[in-house]
Copies of this chain bind each other. A is one copy, B any other.
Amino acid sequence: MYRIGVMAARCGLKADTLRFYEKSGLLVPSSRNEAGYRLYNAADEAKLNFILRAKSVGFSLEEIAELLSIRLESAEHSCAEPKLITDMKLQQVEAKIKELEIFRSSLQKLSDSCCGGSESASHCSILEALDASDKEALC
């Protein structure tokens, strides 16, 4: 049974973060001592590791809460549910990547067009491209 500071240190988090996870319904420590201190056991630590692994693949805390509730009563849920959550997240991530790839290619084009020298920016092609009424230039 670890107190919050030890538990946090073991997992590389701050105590505040564990309190925040508790308030969010993600991880309620299994017990308290007489003084009201939170006490975390091995199962709590396993659950926290689940949370951290889920975070590391990009799930939001809300999605993790869903996954945890499925895990808790897995017999009453089907395989389709975690898969759906995963596939929806995958789609979001892919959409975001596509958006950022467009940013990247536009930025690369802007950067390439600019000499980057020390002379006046009054002819800078980055500023000109952003000013252009001709929208072709950016995409």
Contacts and interface: CB of A to CB of B under 8 A. Distances in A.
Interface residues of A, number: 59
Interface centre among A46, A103, A104 (most CB of B within 10 A): A103
A90 B78 contact: no
Total copies of this chain within the assembly: 2
A77 B83 CA distance: 53
A138 B49 contact: no
Q: A-side binding surface: helix, strand, loop or mixed?
A: helix
Contacts of A10: none
Given A57-B107, A90-B104, A101-B97, A82 B50 contact: no
Contact of A124 (B79, B100, B119): B79
Interface centre among A54, A84, A89, A100 (most CB of B within 10 A): A100
A93 interface: yes
When A and B form their complex, which 7 residue pairs have the shortest distance between CB atoms, in order from nearest? Answer: A58-B103, A83-B116, A74-B122, A57-B106, A82-B126, A77-B121, A90-B107
